[in-house]
């Protein structure tokens, strides 16, 4: 058994080393640093998971991150060159954000149960309906992937302006993941900005720093992948800008946050 596993492990390590040193996709390029920046989102999620309670979790942001990672798993698989580092990052982040989302939903459910004990059955019924709706949506998406090329061919065969047809046939057009993944990421920027009224003490510095890093690096990466993606560059610029806003807000209103333990010591 070891005679089979060890050579395969050595081959895997060698291929990883070759990819890391490759001048076209290695550590000197944004093909490497773009996914590395995205890993900071997952690590920020781990930090919040281990150090903060569920009451600090932003439900809109976490839900958006779940959808975002699901879309970019497909994106990482379809771009050229195919990016396994980005793919693994979003697989990991999907797990982290799903746990965070579950924690927040459980916390909200417990709060509702404490306030409205008599409505427990109704809450469970609604949750079941939500789960069924999510499963149906996932099944619809999975089933729709196979018919997209045929749908594109039928729609583009209809009479329409040349520019419209060119847009629909574009390699990063609305019939491809290269359009919908960046479009989904616009939700990430929007969710970040929608938290502008969120209490400053609950703003996650690791999360905002990771969003700033990934937004800045991906602006460049959007122009070196195939196909070039202007939509992706614009959304990452917006994401970085929203992160800067949240960090400035955090610094202005809460420049030196203290932990609960430190507050007790001061008293």
Tens of pLDDT, residues 16-56? 666 766 767 777 777 788 788 888 888 888 888 888 888 88
Residues 24 and 116 in one domain: yes
Structure tokens at 111: 């709060």
Q: Which of 121, 137, 156 is where one domain is finished?
A: 121
Is the per-residue pLDDT at 128 higher than 80? Answer: no
On whether residue 107 sits in a domain, the answer given is yes
106 contacts: CB under 8 Å, gap ≥ 6? 54
Element (H, E) at 58: none
Evaluate whether residue 155 is within a structural domain.
no
d(C-alpha 234, C-alpha 215), whole Å:
9
Whether residues 107 and 193 share a domain: the answer is: no
Range of the domain at 26: 15-121
Measure the CA–CA gap between 232 and 217, rounded to whole angstroms.
11
Cβ atoms 19, 25 nearer than 8 A: yes
Q: How many CB atoms lie within 10 A of CB 43?
A: 17
Q: How many whole angstroms from its chain centre is CA 246?
A: 18
Count structural domains, the chain. 2
Question: Are residues 174 and 117 both part of a single domain?
Answer: no
pLDDT at 3: 64
* DSSP state letter for 225: S
Instruction: Tell me the pLDDT tens digit for each residue of 162-219.
Output: 888 888 888 878 888 888 888 888 887 787 777 777 778 778 888 888 888 888 888 8
Domain boundary among 121, 155, 189: 121
pLDDT band at 263 (very low <50, low <70, confident <90, very high): very low
In a domain, 138, yes or no: no
Question: What is the pLDDT confidence band of residue 99, given thresholds at 50, 70 and 90?
Answer: very high
Q: Please tell me whether residues 175 and 109 are part of one structural domain.
A: no
C-beta separation of 151 from 175 below 8 A: yes
Residue 141 banded pLDDT, cuts 50, 70, 90 = very low
Terminal Cα distance for the chain, rounded: 63
What's the pLDDT score for residue 13?
65
- Verify that 245 and 179 share a domain, yes or no: yes
């Amino acid at each position: 058994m070891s005679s089979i596993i060890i050579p395969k492990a050595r081959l895997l390590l060698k291929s990883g080393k070759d990819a890391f040193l490759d001048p076209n996709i290695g550590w000197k390029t944004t093909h490497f640093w773009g996914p590395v920046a995205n890993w900071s989102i997952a690590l920020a999620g781990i930090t919040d998971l281990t150090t903060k309670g569920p009451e600090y979790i932003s439900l809109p942001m976490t839900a958006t991150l779940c959808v975002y990672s699901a879309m970019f798993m497909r994106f990482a698989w379809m771009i050229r060159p195919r990016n396994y580092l980005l793919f693994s990052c979003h697989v990991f982040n999907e797990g982290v954000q799903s746990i965070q989302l579950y924690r927040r939903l459980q916390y909200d459910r417990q709060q509702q149960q404490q306030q409205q004990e008599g409505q427990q059955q109704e809450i469970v019924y609604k949750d079941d309906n939500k789960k069924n709706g999510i499963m149906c949506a996932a099944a619809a998406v999975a089933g729709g992937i196979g018919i997209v090329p045929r749908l594109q061919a039928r729609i583009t065969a209809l009479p329409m302006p040349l520019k419209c047809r060119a847009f629909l046939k574009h390699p990063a057009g609305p019939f491809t993941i290269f359009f919908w993944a960046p479009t989904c990421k616009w939700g990430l920027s929007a969710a970040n900005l929608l938290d502008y009224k969120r209490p400053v003490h609950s703003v996650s510095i690791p999360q905002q720093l990771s969003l700033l890093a990934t937004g800045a690096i991906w602006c460049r990466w959007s122009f070196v992948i195939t196909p070039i993606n202007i939509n992706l560059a614009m959304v990452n610029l917006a994401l970085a800008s929203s992160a800067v806003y949240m960090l400035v807000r955090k610094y202005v209103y809460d420049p030196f946050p203290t932990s609960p333990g430190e507050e007790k010591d001061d008293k």
